[in-house]
Amino acid sequence: MRRVENPPNPWHTQHREWLGPPPPARLEVYEEQARSILTENESPDVSFRWSANPYRGCFFGCGYCYARPTHQYLDFGAGTDFERRIVVKVNAPRLLRRAFRRKSWVGEPITLSGNTDCYQPLEASYRLTRGLLEVCREFGNPVGIVTKSVLVQRDLDLLGELAAFGLVHAHFSIPFSDDLMARAIEPYAPSPSARFEAMRTVAAAGVPVSVLVAPIIPGLNESQIGEILQRAKACGATRASRVLLRLPAEVRHVFLRRLKEAFPHRYEKVVHSIREMRGGALYRAGFGVRHRGSGQRWDAIEDLFDLSCRRLGLNRDEEEPAPAPLRREGAQLSLF
């Protein structure tokens, strides 16, 4: 348990302070009958157009999570509320099936999840992500998974079936190779070591896997990039990507507080390094610059990342011809 601590919500007309110590942040689960499940992305910085998020908020509590401000639209906070007041879209699989049945749907890939982790602990009982994967199998629709969780191993049967038709790719988010450092910034997520072992298991089942070194936090984890890529390759990863730390809105408050508490001796160095790569600011929100930095130091990080990938044989498929596309005929799959 941690004490309730949320930055001021800009959607509130006034900010309320606790009289005395704040209470423990206990888990509260809210079940929602959502109106829709697919979200369309219009940002050129993101590689997918459609995402499905069965959960709002995330138990893993990563201090840098860019999704935190979205919780404020629900009249919750972006701090401990985001981590302990979780909204569950209990009708998510039914909504996805309805979306796929529309005549306008042409079988574009979807991503689980573009916002919060689709395999966070509540998935063990609600099984909504599994339900979404079953719908993708039923309709032969391509799907990508982004997760930090080892729970993904539960669905190897489904993932293996989808992978046999080239319909799935699993992306493991691993920004640290050091388990103790990760615990300080990602307090309730599985350790990097556990994620690597889950990656190995998923890859051994024939599912293509990637590693996301996201976020890169200059002055904190940039020296771990080489080891992350090497371990990912050894565990079966074929691709790798990176994203520089993003600090939009209230994320800045949560991350900097977490950083100062966990690594007080590195705090000033990290803040200075971020500003160095963001043109003097802590964050730049424009398209094309949100996920990457600028300057010599960022160029050096990119060079290190790209050279490491080439040495390890990661991202080779970018230069290879695309496989034969799949054609959907009702719920049946066939190759051209």
Is the residue at 326 inside a domain? no
Predicted pLDDT at 149? 98
Domain span at 176:
28-312
How many Å apart are CA 336 and CA 326, to the nearest integer? Answer: 7
Is the residue at 328 inside a domain? no
Count of structural domains within the chain: 1
Is the residue at 336 inside a domain? no
Is the residue at 113 inside a domain? yes
Is the residue at 335 inside a domain? no
Residue 159's contacts (CB-CB under 8 Å, 6 or more residues apart) are: 133, 152, 168, 170, 202, 205, 207
How many Å apart are CA 293 and CA 290, to the nearest integer? Answer: 8
Name the phi and psi angles at 106, rounded to 5.
-110, 15
Long-range contacts of 325-328 (CB under 8 A, 24+ apart): 326/140, 326/142, 326/165, 326/166, 326/167, 328/107, 328/139, 328/140, 328/141
Is the residue at 10 inside a domain? no
pLDDT in tens, the chain (336 residues): 455 667 777 666 555 666 677 778 889 999 999 999 999 988 777 778 999 999 999 999 999 999 999 999 999 999 999 999 999 999 999 999 999 999 999 999 999 988 899 999 999 999 999 999 999 999 999 999 999 999 999 999 999 999 999 999 999 999 999 999 999 999 999 999 999 999 999 999 999 999 999 999 999 999 999 999 999 999 999 999 999 999 998 999 999 999 999 999 999 999 999 999 999 999 998 888 888 999 999 999 999 999 999 999 999 976 544 444 444 444 444 332
Is the residue at 236 inside a domain? yes
Is the residue at 8 inside a domain? no
Segments in the chain forming alpha helices (H): 80-84, 92-101, 123-126, 128-139, 156-164, 179-185, 192-204, 225-234, 251-262, 267-277, 296-312
**Angle at alpha carbon of residue 174, lines to 217 and 190, rounded to 5°:** 115
Predicted pLDDT at 322? 43
Which residue's entry shows tokens 């004490």?
A: 3
Indicate which CATH number applies to the domain containing 303.
Answer: 3.80.30.30
Predicted pLDDT at 124? 97
Predicted pLDDT at 159? 98
The two beta strands, 55-56 and 85-89, are: antiparallel
What is the widest separation between alpha-carbon atoms in the chain?
67
